Structure 1
Amino acid sequence: DPRVKGWLLLENYTPTFIFSVLYLLIVWLGPKYMRNKQPFSCRGILVIYNLGLTLLSLYMFYELVTGVLEGGYNFFCQDTHSGGEADMKIIRVLWWYYFSKLIEFMDTFFFILRKNNHQITVLHVYHHATMLNIWWFVMNWVPCGHSYFGATLNSFIHVLMYSYYGLSAVPAMRPYLWWKKYITQGQLIQFVLTIFQTSCGVVWPCAFPQGWLYFQIFYMISLIILFTNFYIQ
């Protein structure tokens, strides 16, 4: 998409690929390096990191919702060129969404440093490693239009998730964090709603590329399977 030409990290896929390979290497080697070392607390930086991501997610959620309303987006199917200036607003926010997936690699690195290796599940690594790469392609080919929906829901879920993680790093706050049990439920609902909204674009097509819609449906199904397995356990 010429509208993102020259944007940071979008000009070339190589940096995104390298970041992903480095991420997987750290996932593999990090626990080995930490095996005979004391875990790091990271409490202070965890509070800052998680609350920072909470604010970023809140910003993205707000901007996406207002952008969609300003552009008069069609819930059932929205192409990538009819929203006028609202499309550019969505594109700018979705760049931050893409970039946030790089920042979120730190989730795993904190698990490694704190020796919480049980949290580095197949689901966790799959989700983190794939999202950055998928969104590089989204940003280069379909950076607005129907792409907004999953990112909007995910930003809202991340407000809940990262606020919980940030506050739970403060022991005195833990008794008050009542929404923990709803986070995974919310994620599953998010995937189902995204499949529904994506399917609308298949049933009532517009100029949004159909291949992306099918890919998103299959990707969401893979996440539902993995998250359901995690939730049951």
Structure 2
Amino acid sequence: MESISGIWQSYGLKQDPRTYGYPLVTNPVFVSTVIATYLYIVRNGERWMEDRKPMDLRWVMRVHNLFMVIANVAFIAICFPLTYGNGSYSLFCQGITGRDDYASRLLIRSGFYYIFVRYLDFFDTFFFILKKKFSHVSNLHVIHHTIVAFNASFFFGFAPEGQPGLGLFINASIHVIMYGYYFMATFPALRKYLWWKKYLTQLQIGQFIFAIFHMSIPLVYDCGFPRYLVYFATSQVILILGLFLNFYVKTYLTRRREEREQVLAAITPPATEPKKQL
């Protein structure tokens, strides 16, 4: 415990003492190893699958997606009543209380388990690789998963409560919808009902915009939440927002405009030159 805390302190950071009992996910060596392993698989996955057939993972994906829906619902059901649900958290600006009562310990313990749920997001990438859908393993996809995995451990160690809470609950709610979408997509008969993917992306973009503004409140209103954590969080959310906006423009605006132009070109008769008068 001391050696792990010492690693953080060598960078001028002080770990929340209430998380000392969870050394694995607050250990930068462990977290770095997990993320490095993920990136190694991403880098080499296409080469490993080069001479192999795509794998049929429908049932594995169904179990995974259903579990992720249940896990995110459980996290909200346990933690929301301990915070905003009972009025002990401010929706506007919430600092770190430092309380060590039963409710706080349950909140932190639930956060610990939720970190591993965020690590399980990596399997989205692994499924794409094993199914040889390499185009889905985009920069947005990889950067997003990497940042989320790192932040889950980082903020658990230094801010296991406080201002990020509201954004975290919103994010967990969106994950319920997202993994529900993924679950339905594994059933061919249900795919005709999945016309709303565009709006799911809009919902994700909306949550990032909200998170930037909400997380920035402690910069102008002192409620006891460390400002360096605000700068750290908002800078990453801005990056992710930019990547999502770029994806949205390319996928739903530019591509649709090109498709409309192709349709118009196909139905418009070619222009003919006027006949010359003799």
Which bin holds the TM-score, normalised by the shorter protein? over 0.9
Unaligned runs of 5+ in 1: none
Equivalent of residue 199 in structure 1, options 208, 216, 239:
216
CA distance in 2, matches of 1:80, 1:152: 17
- Asked whether the equivalents of residues 34 and 112 of structure 1 are also in contact (C-alpha less than 8 Å), the reply is yes
1:73 corresponds to: 89
CA distance in 2, matches of 1:22, 1:191: 27
- Asked whether the equivalents of residues 67 and 90 of structure 1 are also in contact (C-alpha less than 8 Å), the reply is yes
Shift of 1:71: 5.3
SS at match of 1:70: coil
Q: For residue 80 of structure 1, what is the amino acid of its counterpart?
A: I
Q: For residue 212 of structure 1, what is the amino acid of its counterpart?
A: L
TM-score in terms of structure 1 length: 0.93
Q: For residue 230 of structure 2, what is the amino acid of its counterpart?
A: L
CA distance in 1, matches of 2:79, 2:214: 16
Unaligned runs of 5+ in 2: 1-15, 251-278
Shift of 1:65: 2.2
1:29 corresponds to: 44
Deviations 1:32-61 (A, max 9, x none): 111221100100111010111011111122
CA distance in 2, matches of 1:11, 1:97: 13
Shift of 1:93: 2.7
Equivalent of residue 122 in structure 1, options 139, 148, 154:
139
- Asked whether the equivalents of residues 26 and 153 of structure 2 are also in contact (C-alpha less than 8 Å), the reply is no
Higher relative contact order (CA 8 A, sep 6+): 1
1:103 paired with 2:120, answer yes
1:187 corresponds to: 204
1:44 corresponds to: 59
Change (3 A) 1:182 1:96: farther
CA distance in 2, matches of 1:42, 1:89: 35
1:59 paired with 2:74, answer yes
Change (3 A) 1:86 1:166: same
Deviations 1:48-107 (A, max 9, x none): 101110111111223332222225101222122266544333323322332212111111
CA distance in 2, matches of 1:172, 1:147: 39
CA distance in 2, matches of 1:178, 1:89: 39
Query: Is the deviation greater in 199-208 or in 42-51?
Result: 199-208
Deviations 1:96-131 (A, max 9, x none): 332212111111000000011111010110011121
